[in-house]
Amino acid sequence: MPKKAVNCRSVWGKVLLGLRNNNIINVHSICIEISDVAIVENDFVINVHKSINYEILKKQQNYGDLVDTFIKLGYNYNVVINFTPDSALPKMDKAKKIAEILGCKVEIKK
């Protein structure tokens, strides 16, 4: 029987709940802002865009708490934390961003 594909957002949501339920508030408060996650082979990749958040998550205790949460939930991934500054992200103009949120065409007149 083929293995069912795993949704990285579903995994991430369960990890966030696990952090909160286990009172790992310092890690939870940073991770709740992170939505750029992916599963690549056996790696769960967490892309962090703020340097201060990256530095806090890389601390041994915080990283250990994060990995332990994955393990307690039954996920056997290598947890990888990448620092990707916001400047590396493609810029989206305001009209396009508003249109994406509202689901319609937006034109900004100057």
- Torsion angle (degrees, nearest 10) of CA 68, 72, 75, 79: -10
Q: How open is the CA angle 40-20-84, to the nearest 5 degrees? A: 40
Kindly give the interhelix angle for 51-58 and 60-72, rounded to the nearest 10 degrees: 70
pLDDT of residue 85: 81
Other beta carbons less than 10 A from residue 109's beta carbon: 3
Per residue of the chain (110 residues), give pLDDT as tens.
444 557 899 999 999 999 999 999 999 999 999 999 999 999 999 999 999 999 999 999 999 999 999 999 999 999 999 998 866 445 556 666 666 666 676 666 65
Ordered domains of the chain (ranges, CATH):
8-102 (3.30.300)
Extract the tokens encoding 88: 């590396």
Answer yes or no: are the C-beta atoms of 58 and 81 closer than 8 Å.
yes
Q: How far apart are CA 90 and CA 70, in angstroms?
A: 30
Pairing of strands 37-40, 43-48: antiparallel
